[in-house]
Amino acid sequence: MVSLSQLAVIQIKGQKLPEMNNILRGLDSSRNLPGQLRVQLVDFCNEKCYFCHNEGRQDQHRVINENLMWKIIDASIMLSKFRVGFTGGEPTLNPMFSEYVLKLREKSAGVELTVTTNGSTLENLSSAVLERGINKLNISIHSLQRDKYKKITEKDLLDKVSRGLKRVAEFKNIDVFINMLVGSNNIKEIEDFVRYFSHFGYKINILDILGEDELKAPYGDIKKALEQVKKRLCVDEKIIELKPKIFHSKCEDCSFVPVCGEGEYLRVSVDSVLMPCMYRQDLFQSVHLDDDIDTTIRKVALGYRRVRYDDI
């Protein structure tokens, strides 16, 4: 864990960069930096959901540079930031996915790994990966009706997803959440989701569409529909919830607020750009292979700070 007394000034290529104690201003230690790491392993997917923001990146069929990824993850662990997410695209399509999961576990027993996936490849993952590597799965499913599923994703993978759900249910060490992104075309399926997934014991996250889209359902309408389902089925609040909108001081004058609210993540894009916000490019930082570890730690720490603040 990096304290205020460490890494006072970092030097790179003759330039004095901001002091670590300035980055950690107002915090007891780096452990208290906001946000969690969200690493984009690939920018492509085997589905084509019309609303996917793809972590702010276009699909160019890229995989993340392994050396840069571990450089960033190592820096995050050194800052005592142990929550890591693997996402995409579809992260399991990275040919090194299983190796990355197990290697991450070897780096630190304290790391909590969340994988966000469409669930179509879960049936193929090894028992070692599921038993020892993953703490939490966010499985994105947006309809239980085959025709509607195909229309949303442009693929007919619902049977594969169903088999993956049954396989994952064998591993009680994994917390499973179903991510249902709700638009005007599937808002009436919320009750079906509760009835179906309650048998698995899975929790459900309801999300709204980020950005502008003709099928976007107003956040207020989704909230109202969810409350009606909860009342009708007497659902425990912990079973299903609508993802809250989280904004901070850096968001006050941002024009993207009406279409944002994705959460507190320090994204690492497939091209190794640190993104405290998908829309604020002025807060982005690139990590390079020739960055030394002190510089990488500083960049990652600053990225975490910028999840909430744009004062540096």
**Per-domain residue ranges of the chain:** 31-305
Q: pLDDT by residue for the chain (312 residues), tens digit each?
A: 554 334 333 333 334 568 899 999 999 999 999 999 999 999 999 999 999 988 988 889 999 999 999 999 999 999 999 999 999 999 999 999 999 999 999 988 889 999 999 999 999 999 999 999 999 999 999 999 999 999 999 999 999 999 999 999 999 999 999 999 999 999 999 999 999 998 888 999 999 988 778 899 999 999 999 999 999 999 888 889 999 888 888 898 888 888 787 689 999 999 999 999 998 999 999 999 999 999 999 999 999 999 999 988
Q: What is the pLDDT of residue 210?
A: 84
Residue 24: Cβ within 10 Å count? 23
Q: What is the pLDDT of residue 225?
A: 96
Q: Which residues contact 105 (CB under 8 A, 6 or more apart)?
A: 111, 113, 132, 133
Give per-residue burial for 146-167: e unless 16+ CB within 10 Å, then b. Answer: eeebeebbebebbebbeebbeb
Q: Which fold would CATH assign to domain 31-305?
A: TIM Barrel (3.20.20)
**pTM recorded for the entire structure:** 0.92
Give per-residue burial for 110-119: e unless 16+ CB within 10 Å, then b. Answer: ebebbbbbbb
**Cβ–Cβ under 8 Å, residues 90 and 117:** yes
Residue 182: Cβ within 10 Å count? 25
The SS3 call for residue 24 is coil
Q: What is the pLDDT of residue 245?
A: 86
